[in-house]
């Protein structure tokens, strides 16, 4: 790993193209492997501890998957503000992934920020009117608000 650090793989210089980021994604995902059994056993704090070092690796697709896992673990722990931040970071890496934006909206709703959640759900449903998770969570939010 020291060799990689000297080559700048763990810092911003030099520029990393998509090929470099995809290789680094593999290192990050491999580093996060111990989180899988922790998540399966509902040991979310342990999972977060296993994933956080993997986030040191720059990447793109794999990094997004790690951020999604972090957000899901934080949401299970009731830490919705942190979960929202992780979901937003993942959504910035894959802005067309409607599931990520649905997670952001759901985290906003869990924090009581219903106006923002409604706006995000509407944005998702404009792009895909049949998005099941967005529809389901929107129905739940409207019920909580006393709306039909």
Note the pLDDT tens digit of each residue in 106-146: 999 999 999 999 999 999 999 999 999 999 999 999 999 88
Burial level of 92, CB count in 10 A (0-12/13-18/19+)?
exposed
Measured CA to CA, the distance from residue 72 to residue 16 in angstroms comes to 28
- Residue 6 has a pLDDT of 46
Q: What would the pLDDT profile of 46-99 be if each residue is shown by its tens digit?
A: 999 999 999 988 888 889 999 999 999 999 999 999 999 999 999 999 999 999
Q: Would the CA dihedral through 86, 10, 45, 33 be positive or negative?
A: positive
Inform me whether the pLDDT recorded for 37 exceeds 90: yes
Q: What is the pLDDT of residue 47?
A: 96
For 83, phi then psi, to 5°, come to: -60, -45
Mean pLDDT of the chain: 88
Output the CA angle 66-71-75, nearest 5 degrees.
Answer: 150
Tokens 């999972």: give the residue: 47
CA distance 33 to 63: 13
Whether residue 98 has a cis bond before it, omega within 30° of 0: no
- DSSP state at residue 85: H
The model scores a pTM over 0.85: no
């Amino acid at each position: 790993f020291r060799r990689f650090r000297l080559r700048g793989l763990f810092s911003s210089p030099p520029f990393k193209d998509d090929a470099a980021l995809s290789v680094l994604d593999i290192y990050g995902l491999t580093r996060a492997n111990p989180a899988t059994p922790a998540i399966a056993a509902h040991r979310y704090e342990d999972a977060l501890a296993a994933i956080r070092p993997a986030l040191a690796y720059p990447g793109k697709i794999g990094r997004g998957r790690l951020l999604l896992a972090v957000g899901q673990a934080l949401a299970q722990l009731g830490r919705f503000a942190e979960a929202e931040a992780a979901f937003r970071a993942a959504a910035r890496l894959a802005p067309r992934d409607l599931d990520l934006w649905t997670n952001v909206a759901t985290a906003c709703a869990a924090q009581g920020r219903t106006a923002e959640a409604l706006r995000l759900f509407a944005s998702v449903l404009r792009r895909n009117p049949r998005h099941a998770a967005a529809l389901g969570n929107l129905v739940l939010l409207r019920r909580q608000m006393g709306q039909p």
